[in-house]
């Protein structure tokens, strides 16, 4: 561990398939390759993380279900990943056995949402960055993640309903911060439009951007009023909106090998879309050395 103050980044959104897990593993690689220690905690009972990192399903005693038990003794079932390429990234897998943890959380008092926060306080993980990969439904694991997080990143798939989605998520965030008395409250580092296809008209219009002919650079689309774009709306809500992450079949190809795009296709432009988020995280990590 290099930093004094660990970042715990919850990746949350109120929509399924917005690319949360993809974001989690690619950020984990990008920060891990810089020499920081990174742990990805999967709070999703679907257990989809395994596909992205080349693992088998975790049995209950080697999954987050064990960590969230009352009897947990601090012996985290870490599994190191991509070990041919780096030594800094490990995961704690979720999966089907989290179903029991979820039942336990929803059937007890509000303080139960602090189960992971308390666990990380009692048994600290010596990583610089912990990434909390959450399921599409915000209850209860979204709350468990928020209570344990220092920072939040919100991937958002640009669809017309997503201006409502963004406002709804912020409402949920504010209510949860209040309900769980989170002090200091986790900082929302920003929204990020994911799976963006700039050959698709509606995406161009919702985001107000297009690719410049020739260079392929993402530029403002002039005939779309800025006030009608999703990034503008997010700024009005008071939050940053990172540049787009493009839809690329390379992400799906890479996950077929259990690898991040940066290893599967070194130098591929799609992975560079994450640079602004990576740099934002590195800045906070560096400030804390």
Ligand X SMILES: Nc1ncnc2c1ncn2[C@@H]1O[C@H](COP(=O)(O)OP(=O)(O)OP(=O)(O)O)[C@@H](O)[C@H]1O
Q: Which residues bind ligand X (CB under 6 A)?
A: 16-22, 44, 46, 48, 135-136, 194-195, 245, 247-248, 251-252, 255
β 79-80/38-42 pair status? unpaired
Q: Which residue, 79 or 136, has its beta carbon nearer to ligand X? A: 136
Among residues 8, 20, 143, 195, the one that binds Mg ion under rule CB under 5 A: 20
Buried b (16+ CB within 10 A) or exposed e, 164-194: ebbeebbebbeebbeebebeebbebbbbbbb
Measured between alpha carbons, how far is residue 39 from residues 31, 181, 233 in Å?
11, 26, 33
Q: Classify burial at 238, counting beta carbons within 10 Å of its beta carbon; exposed 0-12, middle 13-18, buried 19 or more.
A: exposed
Q: Which does 16 bind (CB under 5 to 8 A by kind): ligand X, Mg ion, none?
A: ligand X
Nearer Cβ to ligand X, position 48 or 150? 48
Q: Which does 195 bind (CB under 5 to 8 A by kind): ligand X, Mg ion, none?
A: ligand X
Beta bridge partners of 241: 191
Pick from Mg ion, ligand X, none: which does 17 bind, CB < 5 to 8 A by kind?
ligand X
Cα end-to-end distance, the chain, whole Å: 10
Least CB distance to ligand X at residue 257 (A)? 12
- Pick what 198 binds: Mg ion, ligand X, none; C-beta below 5 to 8 Å, kind-dependent: none
8 A C-beta contact, residue 273 and residue 209: no
Name the minimum Å distance from CB 250 to Mg ion.
18
Tell the smallest beta-carbon distance from residue 42 to Mg ion (Å): 8
Considering only CA atoms, give the Rg of the chain. 19
CB-CB contact of 245 with 19 (8 Å)? yes
Task: Report what 86 binds from Mg ion, ligand X, none; CB cut-off 5-8 Å by kind.
Answer: none
Is 134 an interacting residue with respect to Mg ion (CB under 5 A)?
A: no
Distance in angstroms (rounded) separating the CA atoms of residues 254 and 261:
5
Among ligand X, Mg ion, none, residue 162 binds (CB under 5-8 Å by kind): none
Is the CB of 46 or the CB of 268 nearer to ligand X?
46
Closer residue to Mg ion, CB minimum distance, 23 or 148:
23
Give 104's Cβ-side CA count (13 Å radius): 14
Interacting residue with Mg ion among 6, 12, 21, 88 (CB under 5 A) = 21
- Residue 258 CA to residue 271 CA, distance in Å, equals 16
Instruction: Kindly list the distances between the CA atom of residue 173 and the CA atoms of 226, 235, 287, in Å, as whole numbers in the listed order.
Output: 26, 16, 26
H/E stretch holding 129: strand 129-133
- Using CB distances below 5 to 8 A depending on partner kind, what does residue 245 bind out of ligand X, Mg ion, none? ligand X
Residue 16: CB minimum distance to ligand X, A: 4
Which lies closer to ligand X via its Cβ, residue 3 or residue 55?
55
Q: How many residues bind Mg ion (CB under 5 A)?
A: 2
Minimum distance, C-beta of residue 248 to ligand X, in the bound complex (Å): 5
Segment interacting with Mg ion (CB under 5 A) among 18-26, 188-196, 249-257, 281-289 = 18-26
> Coil, helix or strand for 273?
coil
CB 53 within 8 A of CB 69: no
Site of interaction with Mg ion (CB under 5 A): 20-21
């Amino acid at each position: 561990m290099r930093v004094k103050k660990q970042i715990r980044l919850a990746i949350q959104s109120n929509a399924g398939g917005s690319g949360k897990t993809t974001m989690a593993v690619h950020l984990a690689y990008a920060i891990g390759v810089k020499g920081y220690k990174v742990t990805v905690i999967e709070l999703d009972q679907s257990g989809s993380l395994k596909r992205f990192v080349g693992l088998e399903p975790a049995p209950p005693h080697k999954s987050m279900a064990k960590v969230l038990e009352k009897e947990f003794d601090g012996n985290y079932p870490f599994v190191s990943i991509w070990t041919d390429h780096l030594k800094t990234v490990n995961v704690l897998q979720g999966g089907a056995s989290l179903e029991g943890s979820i039942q336990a959380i929803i059937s007890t008092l509000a303080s139960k949402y602090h189960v992971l926060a308390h666990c990380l306080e009692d048994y600290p993980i010596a990583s610089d960055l912990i990434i909390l990969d959450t399921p599409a439904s915000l209850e209860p694991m979204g709350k468990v993640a928020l209570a344990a997080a220092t920072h939040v990143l919100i991937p958002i798939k640009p669809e017309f309903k997503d201006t409502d989605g963004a406002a709804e998520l912020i409402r949920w965030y504010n209510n949860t911060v209040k309900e769980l008395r989170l002090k200091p409250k986790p900082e929302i580092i920003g929204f990020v439009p994911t799976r963006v296809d700039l050959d698709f008209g509606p995406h161009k219009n919702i985001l107000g951007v297009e690719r410049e002919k020739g260079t392929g650079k993402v530029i403002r689309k002039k005939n779309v009023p800025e006030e009608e774009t999703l990034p503008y709306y997010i700024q009005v809500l008071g939050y940053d909106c990172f540049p787009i992450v493009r839809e690329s079949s390379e992400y799906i190809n890479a996950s077929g090998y259990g690898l991040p795009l940066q290893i599967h296709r070194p130098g591929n432009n799609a992975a560079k879309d994450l640079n602004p988020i990576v740099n934002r995280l590195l800045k906070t990590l560096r400030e804390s050395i």
